[in-house]
Amino acid sequence: MRLLRELSADYLWRDVLQTGLIQTPEPIKRLLLQLAHQGGSEVSVNELATQLGMARPTVKRYLDLLEQTFVIFRLLSFSTNPRKEIVKGRKVFFWDTGIRNALLNTFATEALRPDIGLLWENWTIAEIAKRNTLLGAPAELFFWCSRTRSEVDLVVKQGDRLRAFEIKWSGHRTRSRAFRDAYGVNIETIEPENPFVADLLEA
Protein backbone atom coordinates (compact mmCIF):
# COMPACT_ATOMS: atom_id res chain seq x y z
CA MET A 1 0.00 0.00 0.00
CA ARG A 2 2.76 2.43 0.93
CA LEU A 3 4.58 1.66 -2.31
CA LEU A 4 1.44 2.20 -4.37
CA ARG A 5 0.85 5.55 -2.65
CA GLU A 6 4.40 6.61 -3.40
CA LEU A 7 4.25 5.45 -7.02
CA SER A 8 0.89 7.16 -7.51
CA ALA A 9 2.08 10.40 -6.01
CA ASP A 10 5.24 10.36 -8.08
CA TYR A 11 3.33 9.60 -11.29
CA LEU A 12 0.64 12.22 -10.71
CA TRP A 13 2.65 15.12 -9.39
CA ARG A 14 5.72 14.63 -11.54
CA ASP A 15 3.96 13.97 -14.85
CA VAL A 16 0.94 16.22 -14.36
CA LEU A 17 2.01 19.06 -12.14
CA GLN A 18 5.50 19.51 -13.54
CA THR A 19 4.21 20.10 -17.06
CA GLY A 20 4.48 23.78 -16.21
CA LEU A 21 0.77 24.29 -16.86
CA ILE A 22 -0.21 24.04 -13.18
CA GLN A 23 0.89 26.79 -10.85
CA THR A 24 -0.37 25.31 -7.58
CA PRO A 25 -1.14 21.62 -6.99
CA GLU A 26 -3.98 21.94 -4.47
CA PRO A 27 -6.88 22.71 -6.88
CA ILE A 28 -6.12 19.82 -9.23
CA LYS A 29 -5.64 17.50 -6.26
CA ARG A 30 -9.14 18.43 -5.06
CA LEU A 31 -10.51 17.84 -8.55
CA LEU A 32 -8.88 14.40 -8.74
CA LEU A 33 -10.29 13.44 -5.36
CA GLN A 34 -13.77 14.53 -6.43
CA LEU A 35 -13.48 12.45 -9.62
CA ALA A 36 -12.30 9.46 -7.61
CA HIS A 37 -15.36 9.74 -5.35
CA GLN A 38 -17.75 10.05 -8.30
CA GLY A 39 -16.31 6.94 -9.93
CA GLY A 40 -17.78 6.62 -13.41
CA SER A 41 -20.80 8.83 -12.83
CA GLU A 42 -21.80 11.50 -15.31
CA VAL A 43 -19.61 14.55 -14.86
CA SER A 44 -20.69 18.13 -15.37
CA VAL A 45 -17.99 20.79 -15.63
CA ASN A 46 -20.42 23.33 -14.18
CA GLU A 47 -21.22 21.12 -11.18
CA LEU A 48 -17.56 20.37 -10.54
CA ALA A 49 -16.75 24.08 -10.68
CA THR A 50 -19.50 24.82 -8.14
CA GLN A 51 -18.55 21.95 -5.82
CA LEU A 52 -14.88 22.89 -5.83
CA GLY A 53 -15.28 26.67 -5.87
CA MET A 54 -13.29 26.92 -9.08
CA ALA A 55 -13.83 28.75 -12.35
CA ARG A 56 -15.42 26.66 -15.10
CA PRO A 57 -12.57 27.31 -17.60
CA THR A 58 -10.06 26.16 -14.96
CA VAL A 59 -11.92 22.89 -14.36
CA LYS A 60 -12.17 22.27 -18.09
CA ARG A 61 -8.44 22.97 -18.55
CA TYR A 62 -7.54 20.60 -15.71
CA LEU A 63 -9.76 17.83 -17.12
CA ASP A 64 -8.13 18.24 -20.52
CA LEU A 65 -4.67 18.07 -18.92
CA LEU A 66 -5.52 14.96 -16.92
CA GLU A 67 -6.76 13.31 -20.09
CA GLN A 68 -3.68 14.32 -22.09
CA THR A 69 -1.40 12.86 -19.42
CA PHE A 70 -3.36 9.56 -19.35
CA VAL A 71 -4.66 9.87 -15.81
CA ILE A 72 -8.32 9.85 -16.86
CA PHE A 73 -10.35 9.28 -19.98
CA ARG A 74 -13.86 10.31 -20.86
CA LEU A 75 -16.72 8.41 -22.46
CA LEU A 76 -19.23 10.40 -24.47
CA SER A 77 -22.92 9.56 -24.53
CA PHE A 78 -24.25 7.65 -27.52
CA SER A 79 -27.28 9.20 -29.16
CA THR A 80 -29.18 9.32 -32.43
CA ASN A 81 -32.36 10.79 -30.93
CA PRO A 82 -31.76 14.04 -28.99
CA ARG A 83 -35.42 14.23 -27.92
CA LYS A 84 -35.23 10.92 -26.06
CA GLU A 85 -31.55 10.49 -25.21
CA ILE A 86 -28.84 12.34 -23.32
CA VAL A 87 -26.66 13.89 -26.03
CA LYS A 88 -23.88 15.80 -24.28
CA GLY A 89 -23.21 13.54 -21.30
CA ARG A 90 -19.67 12.72 -20.19
CA LYS A 91 -18.40 10.05 -17.82
CA VAL A 92 -14.87 10.07 -16.39
CA PHE A 93 -12.85 6.93 -15.67
CA PHE A 94 -9.30 6.36 -14.43
CA TRP A 95 -6.90 4.51 -16.73
CA ASP A 96 -5.43 2.89 -13.60
CA THR A 97 -7.77 1.94 -10.75
CA GLY A 98 -4.74 1.79 -8.44
CA ILE A 99 -4.46 5.56 -8.85
CA ARG A 100 -8.11 5.94 -7.87
CA ASN A 101 -7.58 3.70 -4.82
CA ALA A 102 -4.51 5.69 -3.80
CA LEU A 103 -6.41 8.97 -4.05
CA LEU A 104 -9.17 7.56 -1.83
CA ASN A 105 -6.65 5.80 0.43
CA THR A 106 -8.74 2.65 0.07
CA PHE A 107 -6.97 -0.59 -0.80
CA ALA A 108 -9.41 -3.20 0.46
CA THR A 109 -9.85 -6.15 -1.89
CA GLU A 110 -12.88 -7.79 -0.34
CA ALA A 111 -16.09 -8.01 -2.37
CA LEU A 112 -18.02 -6.10 0.30
CA ARG A 113 -16.16 -2.79 -0.05
CA PRO A 114 -18.86 -0.15 -0.68
CA ASP A 115 -17.56 0.95 -4.07
CA ILE A 116 -16.72 -2.49 -5.47
CA GLY A 117 -19.29 -2.15 -8.26
CA LEU A 118 -17.89 1.21 -9.37
CA LEU A 119 -14.35 -0.14 -9.17
CA TRP A 120 -15.27 -3.18 -11.28
CA GLU A 121 -16.98 -0.99 -13.89
CA ASN A 122 -13.98 1.38 -14.09
CA TRP A 123 -11.50 -1.51 -14.40
CA THR A 124 -13.53 -3.28 -17.08
CA ILE A 125 -14.08 -0.20 -19.23
CA ALA A 126 -10.44 0.87 -18.82
CA GLU A 127 -9.19 -2.54 -19.97
CA ILE A 128 -11.47 -2.44 -23.02
CA ALA A 129 -10.34 1.12 -23.78
CA LYS A 130 -6.67 0.08 -23.50
CA ARG A 131 -7.19 -2.82 -25.88
CA ASN A 132 -9.04 -0.55 -28.29
CA THR A 133 -6.09 1.86 -28.24
CA LEU A 134 -3.56 -0.95 -28.80
CA LEU A 135 -5.57 -2.14 -31.80
CA GLY A 136 -5.49 1.33 -33.32
CA ALA A 137 -8.91 2.37 -32.05
CA PRO A 138 -11.09 0.34 -34.43
CA ALA A 139 -14.12 0.99 -32.22
CA GLU A 140 -15.82 3.98 -30.66
CA LEU A 141 -16.77 3.60 -27.00
CA PHE A 142 -19.77 5.28 -25.41
CA PHE A 143 -22.26 4.99 -22.59
CA TRP A 144 -25.98 5.46 -23.16
CA CYS A 145 -28.70 7.14 -21.13
CA SER A 146 -32.27 7.97 -22.04
CA ARG A 147 -34.04 11.05 -20.74
CA THR A 148 -36.07 8.72 -18.51
CA ARG A 149 -32.72 7.48 -17.05
CA SER A 150 -32.58 4.03 -18.61
CA GLU A 151 -28.85 3.32 -18.91
CA VAL A 152 -26.31 1.12 -20.64
CA ASP A 153 -22.79 1.06 -19.18
CA LEU A 154 -20.90 0.58 -22.43
CA VAL A 155 -21.82 0.86 -26.11
CA VAL A 156 -19.25 -0.31 -28.64
CA LYS A 157 -19.66 0.99 -32.18
CA GLN A 158 -17.45 -0.66 -34.74
CA GLY A 159 -18.34 0.30 -38.28
CA ASP A 160 -22.08 -0.29 -38.63
CA ARG A 161 -22.14 -2.80 -35.76
CA LEU A 162 -23.39 -1.92 -32.28
CA ARG A 163 -22.92 -3.94 -29.10
CA ALA A 164 -24.16 -2.93 -25.67
CA PHE A 165 -22.96 -4.10 -22.28
CA GLU A 166 -24.09 -3.98 -18.70
CA ILE A 167 -21.16 -4.32 -16.29
CA LYS A 168 -22.18 -6.00 -13.05
CA TRP A 169 -20.16 -7.13 -10.05
CA SER A 170 -23.12 -8.99 -8.60
CA GLY A 171 -26.81 -8.69 -7.97
CA HIS A 172 -29.90 -8.32 -10.10
CA ARG A 173 -29.44 -7.72 -13.80
CA THR A 174 -31.29 -4.65 -15.03
CA ARG A 175 -30.90 -4.83 -18.77
CA SER A 176 -32.29 -1.80 -20.57
CA ARG A 177 -35.25 -2.71 -22.76
CA ALA A 178 -35.27 0.91 -23.88
CA PHE A 179 -31.95 0.51 -25.70
CA ARG A 180 -33.01 -2.78 -27.27
CA ASP A 181 -36.29 -1.25 -28.42
CA ALA A 182 -34.49 1.77 -29.88
CA TYR A 183 -31.63 -0.03 -31.63
CA GLY A 184 -32.59 -3.69 -31.88
CA VAL A 185 -29.50 -4.66 -29.89
CA ASN A 186 -29.63 -7.03 -26.93
CA ILE A 187 -27.75 -6.05 -23.80
CA GLU A 188 -24.88 -8.39 -22.89
CA THR A 189 -23.54 -8.67 -19.36
CA ILE A 190 -19.91 -8.58 -18.24
CA GLU A 191 -19.42 -10.08 -14.76
CA PRO A 192 -16.43 -11.35 -12.77
CA GLU A 193 -17.23 -14.84 -14.05
CA ASN A 194 -16.76 -13.66 -17.66
CA PRO A 195 -14.47 -10.63 -17.40
CA PHE A 196 -13.50 -10.65 -21.07
CA VAL A 197 -15.68 -10.97 -24.11
CA ALA A 198 -13.39 -12.55 -26.70
CA ASP A 199 -14.86 -10.92 -29.79
CA LEU A 200 -15.65 -7.59 -28.18
CA LEU A 201 -13.17 -5.74 -30.37
CA GLU A 202 -12.02 -6.70 -33.83
CA ALA A 203 -8.70 -5.47 -35.21
Residue 44 lies in a domain: yes
Residue 183 lies in a domain: yes
Distance CA 167, CA 120 (A): 8
Q: Which residues span the domain enclosing 153? A: 2-190
Strand 72-77 to 140-145 pairing: parallel
Residue 118 lies in a domain: yes
Statement: the pTM of the whole predicted model exceeds 0.75? yes
pLDDT in tens, the chain (203 residues): 554 555 555 566 566 666 555 666 788 888 988 999 988 888 899 999 999 999 999 999 889 988 988 889 999 999 999 888 888 889 999 998 888 888 888 777 666 778 888 999 999 999 999 989 988 988 999 999 998 889 999 999 999 999 999 998 886 666 678 999 999 999 998 988 876 654 566 65
Residue 90 lies in a domain: yes
How remote is the C-alpha of 108 from its chain's centroid?
Answer: 20
Residue 21 lies in a domain: yes
Residue 71 lies in a domain: yes
Please state the domain count of the chain. Answer: 1
Residue 180 lies in a domain: yes
Residue 23 lies in a domain: yes
Q: What's the CATH number where 133 sits?
A: 1.10.10.10
- Rg (the chain; Cα; Å): 17
